[in-house]
Amino acid sequence: MLRTKHVLSFTHKALFQQPRFLSFPSNAQLVLSTHSHNTHLREALLQMALCNHDIDFQGYNTLLIWCVGKRAFREGQRVHAHMIKTHYVPCLYLRTRLVLFYNKCDSLEHARRVFDEMPERNVVSWTAMISAYSQRGYASQASSLFVQMLRSGTEPNAFTFATVLPSCIGSFGFILGNQIHCLVIKLNYEANVYVGSSLLDMYAKDGKIHEARGIFECLPERDVVSCTAIISGYAQLGLDEEALELFRRLQGEGMQSNYVTYTSVLTALSGLAILDHGKQMHNHLLRSEVPSFVVLQNSLIDMYSKCGNLTYARRIFDTMHERTVISWNAMLVGYSKHGEGKEVLELFTLMREENKVKPDSVTVLAVLSGCSHGGLEDKGMDIFYDMTSGKISVQPVPKHYGCVVDLLGRAGRVEEAFEFIKKMPFEPSAAIWGSLLGACSVHSNVDIGEFVGHRLLEIEPENAGNYVILSNLYASAGRWEDVRSLRNLMLRKDVTKEPGRSWIELDQVLHTFHANDCSHPRREEVSAKVQELSVRFKEAGYVPDLSCVLHDVDEEQKEKIILSHSEKLALAFGLIATPEHATIRVIKNLRICVDCHNFAKYMSKIYGREVSLRDKNRFHRIVRGKCSCGDYW
């Protein structure tokens, strides 16, 4: 108490009685920053400062800087109120400070009000307001404010460009972003590393990675942010090998990496599903000085689960000191993708019991899809109804309905799925009809399948996949006339299926397969194997996974049927189908990876021995884009 009294007395003197020796602002700043941890004292000091009726520019400025630094909303509001009460007319500089202060204290409305009431504005005040929107993800507000700024005749600077460009997303955003790029060139800000990073990131997000790379290569100086932006650009587009290659090169060139860089690198590693490399990176991180932020740990969970090692993923999850909803979602998605429905439900229960983090839309999607893959359709339906009745406070979105259709369809409850679609509170999308069509195809429900198929052909006549599934469905019912007319329709409409490719390495030789492929020298052997497996699947009583169907069609038809990606993998499996070799590592497309996992399960049952996808020594690596057996093509 004595000490507080002493300080107060000193402060009073310092602030008001000795202005010649110690000016007001420097003292206010000194005293406030020294004692800012003491709320009562802070209050008293501010009170005293505001008792002064003649606070000048510097005084207000100092107080506001202090409020911004401490994110002291109430105190800052009082400073603002003091200006109004004493009829002080703040200059542009101080008004901008107020905008910055309100923005820092998360009060966008107040910031905007101050901004709107500005009698004049300069590039800094415009940029501050654009930044307030941009930081909060209000992209359209940020970009439209930028356009208003240009119309007002204010010339943007490097800060403005670096601020507005991240808000140039979506189709309209990218168009604006391209125009802004022109302005950047015109005003000669191309060489600015902040502007360059924002620009290249925008192009990468628009899928124009070559543009992005061009900008990166032209930057006269690079830093950790610009390097991370280009690496993450590749990773987010699924160009994982390129991302890693660049990361290695830049590290060689002495690039500094931080936790954001590693997060992007882990994304690339997840895509490649190379567990060994992922582990190496994890080891490297443990030994390095890089702080283990939640985002990085989330990436590690994702990497391990996509590489098939759920134990490691769970270990990271369990040892986290703080978890965000993304941590929970990443773990749930991991279990879900691997068909571990029980674990999905257990973890979801734990999440709700802990009640520290609220489930979001992605959480429910992960849980529903986990139930779907794990054969727990009743549980899945319960969760869906918990959501629609408000027991789980997540707003249902069309994707949740899509999950339910998939869940019922996969379980063979095709009629129920059909009825469910009819009762949905929105118009069913092509994706939802497509999901049901897939279910009809697997469970040979020709009646519903025919209806749905034709509906789909109306909605998206250009999607070759729908023709193919419907055609396969007709084929399975022996309706060859309908198969033929569908094929003719495809020819008339000039619809072709983009040939996907699968790669598999066997004894150091790379075999690749694509749609309609009959060029493999051992094709007949493979076909025979697929036939044999197909019979065995049926004998084993398996209902194959939706995307892992081996169609039972005769040889003549097989020539014409366009095979799905997973079927090509099945062909590849047929080539090497012994329990010892029936392990596979799939790069890039996780869906296929899951298919293989299920495939391994079927194989295990057929051969009566465990066929594991997780045994790294038996993995056959599929190398993307580097075919070593050119003869086959």
Partner DNA sequence: TTAGGGTTAG
Q: State which of residues 27, 141, 143, 264 lies at the interface with DNA (CB under 7 A).
A: 264
Of the pair 48, 362, the CB lying nearest DNA is at: 362
> Tokens for 242?
């390129």
Cα separation of the two ends of the chain: 88
For residue 159, the minimal CB distance to DNA (Å) is 4
206 binds DNA (CB under 7 A): no
566 binds DNA (CB under 7 A): no
For residue 316, the minimal CB distance to DNA (Å) is 12
CA nearest to 583, candidates 570, 596, 564: 596
For residue 587, the minimal CB distance to DNA (Å) is 15
For residue 506, the minimal CB distance to DNA (Å) is 29
Query: In 118-184, where do the E strands start and end?
Result: none
- Which positions from 240 through 259 interact with DNA, judged by CB under 7 A? 258-259
- In a 13 Å sphere around the CA of 80, the CA atoms on its Cβ side amount to 20
263 binds DNA (CB under 7 A): yes
- Which positions from 109 through 128 interact with DNA, judged by CB under 7 A? 122-125, 127-128
Of the pair 225, 464, the CB lying nearest DNA is at: 225
Q: State which of residues 67, 184, 212, 330 lies at the interface with DNA (CB under 7 A).
A: 330
324 binds DNA (CB under 7 A): yes
Site string (212-231) toward DNA, x via CB under 7 A: -----------xxxx-xx--
Report the alpha-carbon distance of residue 329 to residue 446 in Å, rounded: 37
For residue 295, the minimal CB distance to DNA (Å) is 3
Q: Which residues contact 34 (CB under 8 A, 6 or more apart)?
A: none
Report the alpha-carbon distance of residue 174 to residue 208 in Å, rounded: 11
Report the alpha-carbon distance of residue 271 to residue 288 in Å, rounded: 23
- Which positions from 55 through 94 interact with DNA, judged by CB under 7 A? 92-93
For residue 423, the minimal CB distance to DNA (Å) is 21
Site string (418-457) toward DNA, x via CB under 7 A: -------------x--------------------------
Q: State which of residues 14, 72, 333, 432 lies at the interface with DNA (CB under 7 A).
A: 333
* Whether 161 contacts 184, CB under 8 Å: yes
11 binds DNA (CB under 7 A): no
The single-letter code of the amino acid at 96 is T
For residue 602, the minimal CB distance to DNA (Å) is 21
Report the alpha-carbon distance of residue 364 to residue 397 in Å, rounded: 10
Burial of 370 (0-12, 13-18, 19+ CB in 10 A): buried
Report the alpha-carbon distance of residue 33 to residue 55 in Å, rounded: 19
User: With CB under 7 A, what is the number of residues at the site for DNA?
Assistant: 72
Q: What is the 3-state secondary structure (H, E, C) of 379-430?
A: HHHHHHHHHHCCCCCCCCCHHHHHHHHHHHHHCCCHHHHHHHHHCCCCCCCH
Report the alpha-carbon distance of residue 321 to residue 305 in Å, rounded: 20
For residue 238, the minimal CB distance to DNA (Å) is 11
29 binds DNA (CB under 7 A): no
- Which positions from 369 through 398 interact with DNA, judged by CB under 7 A? 369
* Sign of the CA dihedral running 343, 346, 351, 354: negative
- Which positions from 160 through 189 interact with DNA, judged by CB under 7 A? 160, 162-163, 165-166
For residue 530, the minimal CB distance to DNA (Å) is 27
Q: Where are the alpha helices (DSSP H) in 253-293?
A: 259-272, 275-287
Q: State which of residues 366, 381, 586, 603 lies at the interface with DNA (CB under 7 A).
A: 366
Q: How does DSSP assign 425-489, residue by residue?
A: SSPPPHHHHHHHHHHHHHTT-HHHHHHHHHHHHHH-TT-HHHHHHHHHHHHHTT-HHHHHHHHHH
How large is the angle between the packed helices 123-135 and 108-116, nearest 10 degrees? 160
For residue 224, the minimal CB distance to DNA (Å) is 4
Of the pair 210, 538, the CB lying nearest DNA is at: 210
157 binds DNA (CB under 7 A): yes
Determine which helix (DSSP H) or strand (DSSP E) holds 473, and give its type and residue range: helix 464-476
- Which positions from 273 through 302 interact with DNA, judged by CB under 7 A? 293-296, 298-299, 302
Of the pair 169, 571, the CB lying nearest DNA is at: 169
Site string (579-598) toward DNA, x via CB under 7 A: -----------x--------
CA nearest to 549, candidates 410, 447, 404: 410
